[in-house]
């Protein structure tokens, strides 16, 4: 996603911003201001002039503001008196919602023109909407996090019903295909929400084990297949491109992810029996058998390694007795010999594990501790679980895989001059781009 953060006061001579719409290109997603906008007179003058242009187009954005239960509406996301970014008016430009889907950024860009946040701003909005203040049950929640998070997690994506709100007609009077645009927005964010949920699962305080990955990836694969058949050509095109890249990763890792899921005592083979018919249809039985054979193969290889490492440097000769011979040691060596020459012991350990009842999962279930305790019963499977479950789910941080926020300035950095902050943020993107292109910069 292309990001653009800049201060308004270098575009205009004063901070009222009345010519912002003619100086900055494209629609805007988020507007940050200092405390001066808390004053109602400045609010009406500055914000009104900031948004309107001769063509009566308006700036695009969202908010968490919910006037009542029956009237859930997406509004422009306005923040006043930001504690982390103070002293200037900042604007975030949204030029692309998804990579390769430029049309998404155009959805509903000419429909919404409402501001909410602190008490003074909410009162001002109430007066605009109804002519008098109202004590609504739901209020805007202050949140300085930027980016997709507020769109994905906090929006119901219902538009303002024209018949229920006089303001709605005024806001949407110049909108083109208003209903279609917001339906499109809802569909796109429904796609993004799935990725956000998976990202949140993998970005918890504890490192997730590999067994958690398989069901989520199956869900994503099914969702992409469904999006390919979407009636919206943009979403269908997006899903087609996503599936091409997804298949490259899926063909490489889904076997080992399936093994990790089988090693989860709360899932075992049931997880394959549930997902594979949805993914493979009539070929699901063959796919399940293939994963099971892979488990047998791993079990055999691990058992051979364990037996080889367990052999003493001078193995005792079975049947030779001396006065100092230990009967128990001789019997243990005999059992090891039987196990080494028997191929059935490998299948027995896995079959015994799979025949055991699936454990009911509880919130405090710890799969690593379960294998630690049950290693006496399943020693070889324990060794496999130790290695497989520890496989990192991703080689990059979750925020790099699917970012739900933008740059958040610390209190220290917020005291820097706006030109310094802008230079630091742009420099990071430029330096990374140069490195990715193979251009090594000397400092």
- Each domain of the chain, given as residue ranges in start order, spans 5-191, 209-388
Confidence class for position 370, pLDDT limits 50, 70, 90: very high
395: which DSSP letter?
A: S
CB 194 within 8 A of CB 220: yes
118: which DSSP letter?
A: S
Q: What are residue 245's DSSP bridge partners?
A: none
Across the chain, mean pLDDT equals 61
pLDDT at 371: 92
Strand order from edge to edge, sheet including 90-93: 5-7, 90-93, 28-33, 77-80
Q: Which of 117, 115, 1 is nearest to 60 (CA)?
A: 115
Alpha-carbon span 239 to 222, nearest angstrom: 11
pLDDT at 397: 55
Average pLDDT over residues 25-30: 39
Given a cut of 60, is residue 356 above it in pLDDT?
yes
Q: Which of 271, 236, 267 is nearest to 254 (CA)?
A: 271
pLDDT tens digits, 288-299: 999 988 988 888
Q: What are 243's two structure tokens?
A: 């599936």
Confidence class for position 361, pLDDT limits 50, 70, 90: confident
pLDDT at 302: 87
Q: What are 7's two structure tokens?
A: 């201060």
Lowest mean pLDDT among 16-30, 234-248, 272-286, 360-374: 16-30
pLDDT at 116: 35
Alpha-carbon span 80 to 35, nearest angstrom: 6
Alpha-carbon span 374 to 369, nearest angstrom: 9
Given a cut of 50, is residue 249 above it in pLDDT?
yes
Q: Confirm whether pTM is higher than 0.85.
A: no
pLDDT tens digits, 75-112: 333 333 333 322 222 222 222 233 333 343 344 333 33
Alpha-carbon span 332 to 421, nearest angstrom: 71
Contacts of 128 (CB under 8 A, 6+ apart): 114, 167
Q: What are residue 5's DSSP bridge partners?
A: 92
Contacts of 17 (CB under 8 A, 6+ apart): 8, 11, 46, 49, 50, 89
CB 159 within 8 A of CB 115: no
Neighbours of 56 (CB within 10 A): 11
List C-alpha distances in Å: 324 to 55, 320, 328, 329: 103, 11, 12, 11
Confidence class for position 399, pLDDT limits 50, 70, 90: low
Confidence class for position 202, pLDDT limits 50, 70, 90: low
Computed from CA positions of residues 228, 286, 215, 207, in that sequence, does the dihedral angle turn out positive or negative?
negative
Q: What are residue 6's DSSP bridge partners?
A: 91
List C-alpha distances in Å: 42 to 121, 133, 229, 233, 306: 11, 19, 49, 44, 76
Confidence class for position 336, pLDDT limits 50, 70, 90: low
Contacts of 92 (CB under 8 A, 6+ apart): 3, 4, 5, 28, 29, 30, 31, 32, 146, 406
Q: Is 19 helix (H, G, I), strand (E, B) or coil?
A: coil
Give the length of the chain: 443
Q: What are 372's two structure tokens?
A: 């630690």
5-7 and 77-80 as β-strands: parallel, antiparallel, unpaired? unpaired
Q: Is 33 helix (H, G, I), strand (E, B) or coil?
A: strand
CB 272 within 8 A of CB 262: yes
The H-or-E segment that residue 168 falls in is: helix 166-172
């Amino acid at each position: 996603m292309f990001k653009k953060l800049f201060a308004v006061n270098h575009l205009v001579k004063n901070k009222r911003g009345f010519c912002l719409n003619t100086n900055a290109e494209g629609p805007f997603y988020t507007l940050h201001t200092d405390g001066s906008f808390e004053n109602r007179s400045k609010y009406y003058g500055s914000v009104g002039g900031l948004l309107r242009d001769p063509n009566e187009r308006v700036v695009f954005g969202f908010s968490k503001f919910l006037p009542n239960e029956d009237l859930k509406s997406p509004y422009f996301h306005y923040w006043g008196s930001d504690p982390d970014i103070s002293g200037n008016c900042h604007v975030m430009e949204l030029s692309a919602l998804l990579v390769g889907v430029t049309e998404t950024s155009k959805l509903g860009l000419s429909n919404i023109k409402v501001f909410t946040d602190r008490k003074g701003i909410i009162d001002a909005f109430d007066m605009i909407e109804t002519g008098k203040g109202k004590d609504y049950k739901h209020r805007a929640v202050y949140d300085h996090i930027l980016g997709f998070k507020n769109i994905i997690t906090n929006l119901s994506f219902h538009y303002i019903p024209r018949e229920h709100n006089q303001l709605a007609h005024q806001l949407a009077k110049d909108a083109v295909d208003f209903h279609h645009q917001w339906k499109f927005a809802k569909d796109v964010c429904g796609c993004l929400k799935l990725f956000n949920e998976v990202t949140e699962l993998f970005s918890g305080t504890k490192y997730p084990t590999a067994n958690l990955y398989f069901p989520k990836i199956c869900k994503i694969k099914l969702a992409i297949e469904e999006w390919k058949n979407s009636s919206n050509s943009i979403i269908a095109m997006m899903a087609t491109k996503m599936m091409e890249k997804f298949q490259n990763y899926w063909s490489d890792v889904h076997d080992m992810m399936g093994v990790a899921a089988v090693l989860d005592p709360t899932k075992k083979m049931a997880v394959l029996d549930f997902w594979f018919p949805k993914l493979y249809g009539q070929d699901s039985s063959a796919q399940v058998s293939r994963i099971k054979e892979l488990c047998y193969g791993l079990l055999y290889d691990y058992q051979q390694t364990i037996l080889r490492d367990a052999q003493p440097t001078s193995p005792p000769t079975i049947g030779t007795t001396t006065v100092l011979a230990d009967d128990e040691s001789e019997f243990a060596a005999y059992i090891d010999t039987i196990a080494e020459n028997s191929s059935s012991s490998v299948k027995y350990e896995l079959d015994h594990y799979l025949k055991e009842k699936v454990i009911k999962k509880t919130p405090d279930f710890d799969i690593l501790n379960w294998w630690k305790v049950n290693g006496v019963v399943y020693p070889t499977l324990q060794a496999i679980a130790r290695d497989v479950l520890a496989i990192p789910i991703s080689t990059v941080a979750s925020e790099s895989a699917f970012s739900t926020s933008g740059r958040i300035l610390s209190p220290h950095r917020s005291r820097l001059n706006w030109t310094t902050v802008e230079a630091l943020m742009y420099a990071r993107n430029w330096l990374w781009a140069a490195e990715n292109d193979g251009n090594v910069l000397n400092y």
